Structure 1
Amino acid sequence: MAITPQWKDELRARITLSSLVQRSVKLTRAGREWKGCCPFHDEKTPSFYVNDSKQFYHCFGCGAHGDAISWMVDNQGLAFMDAIKELAGIAGMEVPAPDPVQAKKAEARASLIDVTEAAQKFYVESLAGPSGAAARDYLQRRGFSPQVMREFGFGWAPDDRQALPRALPAFGEDMLEGAGMRASNEAGERYDRFRGRVMLPIQDQRGRVIAFGGRILGQRDGVAKYLNSPDTELFDKGRTLYNLHRAAPAARQSGRVVVVEGYMDVIALANAGIADVVAPLGTALTEMQLEMLWRMVEVPVLCFDGDAAGQRAAMRAITRALPLLGPMRSLAIVRLPAGLDPDDLVKAQGARAMEDLLARPASLIDALWEFERDAQPLATPEAKAGLKARLMAHVETIADPEVKSLYRRELSDRFSAFAYPPRPPRPSAPARRGPWKGAAMPPPGLSDEARGRLAAIMAGAQRQGLLAAVLGGLARYPGQIARHAEALSALARHDRGAAPFIESLFELAETLDSRDATAICTATQGQPVPSADTRYAFLDEGTDPDAACEELAEAVSLLVERPALEAALAATIARFDSDPEGSFAEQTRLRTQLMAVEERLKAFGRRKAAPVAGTKDTA
């Protein structure tokens, strides 16, 4: 039997993590958690927390994070199986007997590591020998220091099809091929996979050599510039990040991990003193690699070349990451100047220039917006509609409902601001008197039904209910209707009573020039100025229009969030019988959010202005 995830979950559940940590770290109670000075870096103010209920420790200073098993490995220095055995003894559990098949595979992997370690030693010796002169000259021209060359294990694969069997006679052809060091052609001839290349070892998280990357010297027709080992029992390129074993400790100190496009970029930055850098191995970032990065920091920084290929690589990474986003779990994007890779930038402008770029990355949503906005010309309404369709298609891939909702709102706002830019105001038409009791009449072209509804909106706005006030505010500033169209549509679905008024607002927005923020309902057009005790500033004639529109946006958000949460809560309660545990957890989360919205509603009403005497907000 193998050690399954379920067995490890039971092991963690039987261990009180704080008791385990307190064997070597002094902890004090901090609410439901424990805190102390982090054992992974020097600090005087405690930033290391242990949460027994969630079964993890986390340092807000260096980013160290893990569970009981990782604590025994990272802090106590035990091998994984030794950590499992010690924890099982504490928990009173039997360690499962090893699966014979898995045990045989583990033995085979250990033997293959002997092959790759021996090959690495051979390549290093070859670099120092007569055949490695050209490679040494190349590395010297690249400016790599002797220390960096030793640390990263540069070597040289002689241009010889049979060098490895002669150099490593202790290993048979099957082992050499199983480790990815040898290949065979259709005629059955076996030969060294790496020939005439500067070699770099690829290591796992424990620093063991599991594969190689090789760069050819000069130009050869039909020969790849870079060549990596194939996937083997040791090496899965989609589950490996180059330099992770060095970058992880550095990332705990810096609170950052940087992802570049290739291993030579990693070494160039290490040569410049930037150590918290990793790279994928010839492929776009995979879901597994993203998970590995998020275990180190909440927002890894992806650094791409400034050319079109770098932009496409950034977009592939963003597309891969979107379904996996969550609270405090995102990416940041750095684009280098056009035509420069990290090595070029450091050589031309110094390490400080690179650090300055890494200190000012774009957020994932900024990078997504800019890429899609600039992807094609947007000279026609159809092209602009295509931009919105692409943005919303990306949003739909996000699994976390809260993040998805926030992305939809943010990208919708950006699209509205882009597609409907402000225009210079037009001269106001003379006010038309009518059944609006002295206020300016709605413009020609509105249906009689919409005109009546808008009159009701303006009459109800002064009664201070939040819904009536928001509708009145949008009638006062019709240029804001398009900005909040999606939110208003959602409100109409949740509040059928508000739907006819919202439809009239949409009709108003279509009839008016939507850029004219004072088309109706202003004092200059005949509407009386509201009294000084108006509760909402966006209904007060004396409020600056920009400030009024911002307050109106906040009011729309509050108005829409509550019915949406109430609908979600009702749906969650309805599925309690079929999924009691999941339903209960979801109800708890939604009720917490609903309470937060209620508090925001109360604070919003108190903050804006004193309520009208004798009235009560019925939002």
Structure 2
Amino acid sequence: MRFPPEFLDELRNRLPLSEVVGRRVTWDRRKSQFGKGDYWACCPFHEEKTPSFHVDDRKGFYHCFGCGASGDHVRFLTDAEGLSFPEAVERLAEQAGVSMPAADPQEARRAKVRASLADVMTLAARFFQERFASDAGRDARSYASRRGLDRETLATFEIGYAPGERTALKQYLAGHGVEETQMVDAGLVIRPDDGRASYDRFRNRLMIPIHDHRGRVVAFGGRALGADQEPKYLNSPETPLFNKSAVLFNLHRARAGAHKTGAAIVVEGYLDAIAVYKAGIPHVVASLGTAFTEDQIRAMWRLAQEPVICFDGDKAGVAAARRAVDRILPLLESGRSFNFCFLPDGQDPDDLIANGGRDGFLAEVASARPLVDVVWERELVAGRIDTPERKAALEARIEGLIEQIRDTRVRRRYHFDMRGRLSELFRGRPKGPAGAGAGAADPQVLAALTAAGSDLAELERIVLGVSVAFPRFVDSHWERIERVRFSFDPHERLKRAILSFAIDAGEMNAEALRASLSDDLKALLAEVYGDPSGSAARLAMRFPVLSAEPPDGFVERCLLHFLDRLDLKVLEADLEADIAQADETLTAEGEARILGLSRELVRRKQAFQDEDRDLADQAKEIRGAYVEAARGPTAPTPVA
């Protein structure tokens, strides 16, 4: 470990977090309590007008109650300024006046090797640039001209030419005192296993240096100039200097532009990135053609919270984007995601810029689609959904993807969004008896709901009321409540509003929930819960055992029991629908499904009835104990 924990602790203790953060925000003097180390400001990670970004100097921790961003000194510098972890630590050490820890001997040897190889790469870059400018580089200059690379761009990106001779670079480096082993270690020269003489890796190619985050040349990308030359693009191999899974082309140049604009664009290749940069869009990087890695994803997030991944719109580009989805999903965090821009089929960024200029390219980028849409469309086109089994397979695939998301809040948001999409795709919005599907929960609709299906409506209202009265159960059983299908549209809408509020607010109270609702749902909340200022009278009328102050564990069991009953209703409805369809055409597959549903319904009904009796007995005991306690101790009977 390069930085011992005690060294990082010393930095945090010596340097108040407010001093680090205060360079990028303006503290709200009305809300902050400076003497107590309590600071508030508008969040530097998202647009807002009311300060919700909190810094606690005593704990050395920041948190935004708006977007969820949080962390310590190091995390703030990596997120707000795009620094790597070592760079952030070095910055803090400089500000705190603390000396950096001495590297261990083994790390010191590795650092010396890397420094030596960096010098070799600098020599190689100079060689390629010299050959590009010479008579031998005529074809390379002609190709660069056709690609629209002007003198300034060639100089900025240090573009060069690798001549076609077998050992031109090798001889040049040897003439400058570089040993052959160093050339091999730098990935510039290949040494055959059969003992033949070594030779240059790059020949007859336009050479583009690849830099690390510090701006050092660590690798090269070579574009073939011969008509039949393969491969068309050739990158340096992995070396002590170059870890391709952690490097993004043009990162060191893109950083300043990205933090100025709050945006970042990711394209497929380095020549695409150069074309975009030349058009006056500096916040662009390229992925070097490799599949995204966790290091690259986090590096992109240090540039912007929602970078745009710009792929060709052909099959290969769409396939690459869909592969990227699988790498990104587990790493999603509150406020951090990706958008996807698919260019018109057959065009790359260079083509778009040539035809529509900078504004034409940016217009395409502005139409980028959010990650959630790409996930949805990918799974939707994976197969037909014309049978219950295929619909279930689609649900299972989506559920499996969402479960990979480690961030609880983001995972719940994806569950919430995808459940709505699936519901709309399969069934449309949930409907109940006549009048129950109305969008507005006015008094007439509420009365109609109760009259139309009292048992079911009352059960759904109890679940809603308990969710408001016992918010910790919503947190514990969020996915379970979210999955249940309410039969009455206003109930479903209130359920989704409660779950959405629980995700955003973190802590629920009825009054704050009411303030967040549309007018048509406020009346429904009062009906299912009671007075949002504190009284849960309406809920207690429907669920009388609450008046006996039952243990939380009992209430939780009841809630899960009620959800089981609602699931049974759905299972019964599915069975009825299959039987009705079977009256017209009964296939072997349909018959098997009906039999399976029937057996499952019988099994679950029996389990439900057993639990129902057990809960009823327990409720009776709870009410009895409550009544006894209310009476107080009974006076002893006098002895005659």
Q: Match of 2:621?
A: none
Q: Match of 1:396?
A: 403
User: Aligned-pair distance for 1:8?
Assistant: 2.2
User: Aligned-pair distance for 1:253?
Assistant: 1.2
**Residues 157 and 198 of structure 1 are in contact (CA less than 8 Å); yes or no, is this contact kept in structure 2?**
yes
**Residues 74 and 88 of structure 2 are in contact (CA less than 8 Å); yes or no, is this contact kept in structure 1?**
no
1:5–1:153 distance in 2 versus 1, CA, 3 Å: farther
Structure 2 residue 142 is the aligned partner of structure 1 residue 137: yes
CA shift digits 1:551-579 (9 cap, x unpaired)? 433312356789xx8xxxxxxxxxxxxxx
Query: Which secondary structure does the structure 1 equivalent of 2:190 belong to?
Result: strand
- 2:167 counterpart letter in structure 1: Q
1:196-235 alignment runs, 5 A limit? 196-220=204-228, 223-235=230-242
Which of the numbers 152, 160, 183 marks the counterpart of 1:155?
160
Structure 2 residue 455 is the aligned partner of structure 1 residue 456: yes
With structure 1 as the length reference, what TM-score do the two structures score? 0.68
Q: Match of 1:193?
A: 201
In 2: Cα distance, 1:24 partner to 1:558 partner: 35
Query: Which secondary structure does the structure 2 equivalent of 1:218 belong to?
Result: coil
1:81–1:601 distance in 2 versus 1, CA, 3 Å: closer
- 1:490 counterpart letter in structure 2: R
1:355-504 alignment runs, 5 A limit? 355-421=362-428, 454-457=453-456, 460=458, 466-467=461-462, 490-491=480-481
> How well do the aligned residues superpose, as a CA RMSD in angstroms?
4.7
Q: Match of 1:124?
A: 129
User: Aligned-pair distance for 1:466?
Assistant: 3.4
In 1: Cα distance, 2:19 partner to 2:295 partner: 31
Structure 2 residue 185 is the aligned partner of structure 1 residue 264: no
Which of the numbers 158, 165, 168 marks the counterpart of 2:170?
165
Q: Match of 2:298?
A: 291
**Residues 26 and 37 of structure 1 are in contact (CA less than 8 Å); yes or no, is this contact kept in structure 2?**
no
Structure 2 residue 624 is the aligned partner of structure 1 residue 617: no
User: Aligned-pair distance for 1:122?
Assistant: 0.6
Q: Match of 1:514?
A: none
CA shift digits 1:467-520 (9 cap, x unpaired)? 38899xxxxxxxxxxxxxxx9992499xxxxxxxx8xx99xx8xxxxxxxxxxx
1:224–1:47 distance in 2 versus 1, CA, 3 Å: farther
In 2: Cα distance, 1:224 partner to 1:403 partner: 41
Which of the numbers 351, 355, 358 marks the counterpart of 2:358?
351
CA shift digits 1:436-471 (9 cap, x unpaired)? xxxxx99xxxxxxxxx9945346x59xxx9338899
1:596–1:214 distance in 2 versus 1, CA, 3 Å: farther
Which of the numbers 238, 248, 253 marks the counterpart of 1:241?
248
**Residues 470 and 555 of structure 1 are in contact (CA less than 8 Å); yes or no, is this contact kept in structure 2?**
no
CA shift digits 1:246-282 (9 cap, x unpaired)? 1010001111011111111101111221111111123
Query: Which secondary structure does the structure 1 equivalent of 2:508 belong to?
Result: helix
User: Aligned-pair distance for 1:68?
Assistant: 6.5
Query: Which secondary structure does the structure 2 equivalent of 1:407 belong to?
Result: helix
CA shift digits 1:336-386 (9 cap, x unpaired)? 111111112222232212101212221110111112112334444443332
Structure 2 residue 225 is the aligned partner of structure 1 residue 312: no
Q: Match of 2:39?
A: 33
In 2: Cα distance, 1:454 partner to 1:47 partner: 44
- 2:455 counterpart letter in structure 1: A
1:6–1:313 distance in 2 versus 1, CA, 3 Å: farther
- 2:14 counterpart letter in structure 1: R
In 2: Cα distance, 1:342 partner to 1:466 partner: 54
**Residues 17 and 60 of structure 2 are in contact (CA less than 8 Å); yes or no, is this contact kept in structure 1?**
no
- 1:111 counterpart letter in structure 2: S
Query: Which secondary structure does the structure 2 equivalent of 1:327 belong to?
Result: coil
CA shift digits 1:315-340 (9 cap, x unpaired)? 11111111111111111111111111
1:617–1:147 distance in 2 versus 1, CA, 3 Å: farther
Query: Which secondary structure does the structure 1 equivalent of 2:309 belong to?
Result: strand
Structure 1 gaps, min length 5: 39-45, 429-440, 443-451, 472-486, 494-501, 510-537, 539-548, 566-588
Q: Match of 2:604?
A: none
Q: Match of 1:322?
A: 329
Q: Match of 2:7?
A: 7
1:23–1:559 distance in 2 versus 1, CA, 3 Å: closer
In 2: Cα distance, 1:20 partner to 1:193 partner: 46
CA shift digits 1:400-455 (9 cap, x unpaired)? 12211221121121122112358999999xxxxxxxxxxxx99xxxxxxxxx9945
**Residues 470 and 552 of structure 1 are in contact (CA less than 8 Å); yes or no, is this contact kept in structure 2?**
no
1:23–1:353 distance in 2 versus 1, CA, 3 Å: closer
**Residues 266 and 284 of structure 2 are in contact (CA less than 8 Å); yes or no, is this contact kept in structure 1?**
yes
User: Aligned-pair distance for 1:185?
Assistant: 1.6
Query: Which secondary structure does the structure 1 equivalent of 2:222 belong to?
Result: strand
Q: Match of 1:557?
A: 496
1:313–1:9 distance in 2 versus 1, CA, 3 Å: farther
Query: Which secondary structure does the structure 1 equivalent of 2:227 belong to?
Result: coil
1:23–1:354 distance in 2 versus 1, CA, 3 Å: closer
1:70–1:456 distance in 2 versus 1, CA, 3 Å: closer
In 1: Cα distance, 2:393 partner to 2:513 partner: 36
User: Aligned-pair distance for 1:104?
Assistant: 1.0
In 2: Cα distance, 1:245 partner to 1:605 partner: 47
Greater mean alpha carbon deviation, residues 119-128 or residues 418-427: 418-427
With structure 2 as the length reference, what TM-score do the two structures score? 0.66
1:560–1:344 distance in 2 versus 1, CA, 3 Å: closer
Query: Which secondary structure does the structure 2 equivalent of 1:335 belong to?
Result: strand
In 1: Cα distance, 2:537 partner to 2:432 partner: 37
Q: Percent identity?
A: 37
Structure 2 gaps, min length 5: 33-37, 45-50, 436-447, 467-476, 541-640
User: Aligned-pair distance for 1:597?
Assistant: 6.1
Which of the numbers 492, 506, 514 marks the counterpart of 1:593?
506
1:57–1:124 distance in 2 versus 1, CA, 3 Å: farther
In 2: Cα distance, 1:259 partner to 1:81 partner: 27
User: Aligned-pair distance for 1:393?
Assistant: 1.4
CA shift digits 1:97-146 (9 cap, x unpaired)? 32111111111111111000010011001000011000100010111222
In 2: Cα distance, 1:291 partner to 1:36 partner: 24
Query: Which secondary structure does the structure 2 equivalent of 1:595 belong to?
Result: coil
1:99–1:358 distance in 2 versus 1, CA, 3 Å: same
User: Aligned-pair distance for 1:2?
Assistant: 4.2
1:23–1:141 distance in 2 versus 1, CA, 3 Å: closer
- 2:208 counterpart letter in structure 1: L
**Residues 482 and 496 of structure 2 are in contact (CA less than 8 Å); yes or no, is this contact kept in structure 1?**
no
User: Aligned-pair distance for 1:314?
Assistant: 0.8
1:492–1:254 distance in 2 versus 1, CA, 3 Å: closer
Query: Which secondary structure does the structure 2 equivalent of 1:320 belong to?
Result: helix
**Residues 247 and 277 of structure 1 are in contact (CA less than 8 Å); yes or no, is this contact kept in structure 2?**
yes
**Residues 264 and 307 of structure 2 are in contact (CA less than 8 Å); yes or no, is this contact kept in structure 1?**
yes
1:488–1:552 distance in 2 versus 1, CA, 3 Å: farther
- 1:106 counterpart letter in structure 2: A
**Residues 113 and 209 of structure 1 are in contact (CA less than 8 Å); yes or no, is this contact kept in structure 2?**
yes
Q: Match of 2:280?
A: 273
Greater mean alpha carbon deviation, residues 5-14 or residues 346-355: 5-14
In 2: Cα distance, 1:383 partner to 1:102 partner: 55
Greater mean alpha carbon deviation, residues 299-308 or residues 340-349: 340-349
**Residues 180 and 229 of structure 1 are in contact (CA less than 8 Å); yes or no, is this contact kept in structure 2?**
yes
In 1: Cα distance, 2:234 partner to 2:169 partner: 17
